[in-house]
Structure 1
């Protein structure tokens, strides 16, 4: 039966580890790409990330490596480097997230490989890009969040800056990389030429400053931490409910403001001169918020969300993860999936958020064990026979299970 997934004819050599790169390649694998995850003898660092495990696998690793194939190669040996070059030339896309210069030291040059295969697409993901004064600076998600300015906008006004609760710098780089790769593939379909893509985590985070950056560049005013407040809308924030659940509302129009006042049983606020317009409400926010907060303490969070939903005021509750996993909308969309693999391995993770009407999505497969696919990759991709594969194993060039 023909594979009808969107990227079924795409082969990706994945030289990445930890998060940004594996997240990118998992996105491609979820769309049907044949992703070959190549690891060194020590394995992807993510295989050892605490705190939780399922059998021999860490949950961290399981969350970002589904639907891939595995091969283990000693990239420090000449024979291993030659093997990686052959795999690269047999692929459509190569993705790496080493520090700049490491691939060249390992005998992997995008320029040389593309000279042999002009259609090859090479994507590098790094903290700060392949050039510039920070090129060789070590990068972790929190460092990039800080340098990008994003952390300066997050947290309470009178406290220290706070990183986002998810590793957004890593994840954003992975998403931008997948988008760039798809664009390069589309261009290749027209020109036959591949490309070299340079993705910087810092660039990606700076790009996500979006209107905050534009505001500063226009006004020269440096924005600061807003806590739970919005720059320009007083009734766009978080309130505590009677049961301890937090409620967020986004009453962004005059109609929504009036409706919110009625829901909260304070209709007199609509005609209060302090709060008559959105600008008035923002100016007098210090007086308004305590009044609204007092009213929110009269009911539970879910009850407030239903009242707002029923009356056309955008609202939600701040779900903790236990609530997210049983949320009716999340359940309806099938966003919690079970990975299945060999040896009856199973794990539940958050699934792929992309739904196609026509293209099929591969069934979510358990991430590969360390070296689980070494023999299969060498045979099916490079055409090596059993004796040749055994010789590579015996010489320590590859590992297989």
Structure 2
């Protein structure tokens, strides 16, 4: 039994941020019910899949869930959602609050049927500011939080987004911690509550934790920015025959490195004398290190760095990551059989728990796979479920597939 066994989550999220968060809750044992429209989560279409509805991003962000289809705009759809909300502990959505209010599914509506519920809205912006009603996507959040500008400063001057959905995943992790904290509060007090989790403010704090720097003081002590992260020379080192990721960081590392490469003369250079002085002269420090790394092969550097006890890793591409000997030794990748996709590769829970080890409970659901099952558990009679299906308020996967054919 996972640590969240007995917790039930109604998941009205789509794309990456919310589904990533709810998959973590599901991996920890919560019964997560993913609610989709008849069109399905758009992320189902991203990447190749054998069925056409189970792209890789969807597979990995929606495991450990059951899936139902409810048309919230159809007659009876809202009532289905509210009836399900009566029996859950958590409702998570990433729909703009104004739209949730128009649907009659705002916090007050849901709390009226379940005052103990934890109701989390993952929104783009805090609801007290001028951006409150704006839409939010990962690219937009990276941009407004300053990440492309930092990429330009640390690179070739061209703003770029980080090539992972970093905002979605960072805010998704914050959603998990918020839910766990709110459940703990409810356990102590009996009170449910509404949580608005804004992407912009969350990402602003994430970025500025590294880069606020001297702007933390008033008056400012500098213009902000962490020099070591911003130098254009902070990149994998090119060797004589490839690349290697190396971090020569503290005083001991630098002393060992310079002795190993027979550059003891630089130990007397005041720029190399301390962490502070190296940070102030990081461009020159890293440029010299980059020049030195071109003089040996990758294998020669590995031998030298091992002997000098200096941290390094290989620079993997995606095939290299899949073939990594450590990941394979710990069983990180696992093959499973999906009913629509055949053999698929999944990833294990990274953390090892001495008790209540989280484990994925099921593969990502087909669109509407568990609709009738979940409604029956909520107390609907078979005839009621049939009437809702006829009215278009709900759909089961088999019905969707038949209609498509």
Indicate whether 1:178 and 2:176 are aligned. Answer: yes
1:162 aligns with 2:160: yes
| 3-state SS of 1:185 partner | helix
Shift in alpha-carbon separation, 1:309–1:251, aligned structure 2, 3 A: farther
2:24 equivalent to 1:27: yes
TM-score where L is the length of structure 1:
0.89
Which stretch of the first structure deviates more once superposed, 234-243 or 191-200?
A: 234-243
Alignment partner, residue 68 of structure 2? 71
TM-score w.r.t. structure 2 length?
0.88
**3-state SS of the aligned residue for 2:247?**
strand
Equivalent pair of 1:92/1:119 in contact (CA under 8 Å)? yes
Counterpart in the other structure of 1:119: 116
Q: Which moved more, 1:166-175 or 1:238-247?
A: 238-247
The residue number in structure 2 matching 1:221 is 222
Match of 2:301 in 1: 304
Q: CA deviation at 1:26?
A: 0.5
Q: Name which of structure 1's ranges 290-299 and 125-134 shifts more when overlaid on structure 2.
A: 290-299
Match of 2:403 in 1: none
SS of structure 1 residue aligned to 2:61: coil
Shift of residue 335, structure 1, vs aligned partner? 2.6
Pick aligned residue for 2:394 from 388, 391, 398: 398
Q: How does 1:280-291 map to 2 (within 5 A)?
A: 280-282=277-279, 285=282, 287-291=284-288
CA contact (8 A) 1:302 1:317 kept: no
Q: Secondary structure at the match of 1:36?
A: strand
How far residue 288 of structure 1 moved from its aligned partner, in angstroms, is: 4.3
Counterpart of 1:346 in structure 2 is 343
Q: Following the alignment from structure 2 to structure 1, what is the Cα–Cα distance between the partners of residues 284 and 127?
A: 51
Equivalences for 1:295-334 in 2 at 5 Å? 295-301=292-298, 303-334=300-331
Aligned partners of 1:125, 1:288: CA distance in 2, in Å?
42
The superposition leaves residues 206-265 of structure 1 with CA deviations (integer Å, 9 ceiling, x where unpaired) of 121214225322235333596xx4469x99764211222232323222x21111113334
Q: Partners of 2:32 and 2:189 in 1: how far apart?
A: 24
**2:38 corresponds to:** 41
The CA distance in 1 between the partners of 2:181 and 2:335, in whole Å, is 31
238, 244, 247: which is aligned to 2:245?
247
- Checking the alignment, whether the CA contact within 8 Å between 2:10 and 2:90 is kept in structure 1 is yes
The answer to whether the Cα contact below 8 Å between 2:12 and 2:34 also exists between their aligned partners in 1 is: yes
The aligned residue for residue 375 of structure 1 is: 372
User: Do the aligned residues in 1 keep the contact of 2:348 with 2:359 (CA within 8 Å)?
Assistant: no
Deviations 1:273-328 (A, max 9, x none): 55444455455555544442232123333553453244222222332222222223
Deviates more, 1:287-296 or 1:357-366: 287-296
Are positions 1:195 and 2:193 aligned together?
A: yes
Map Cα deviations across residues 81-100 of structure 1 (whole Å, 9 max, x no partner): 10001111111100000122
Q: Is the 8 A contact 1:70 1:369 kept in 2?
A: yes
Which segment is superposed worse, 260-269 or 61-70? 260-269
CA-based RMSD: 2.5
Flag as ranges the 4+ runs of structure 1 deviating above 6 A: none
> Could you tell me which residue of structure 2 aligns to residue 53 of structure 1?
49
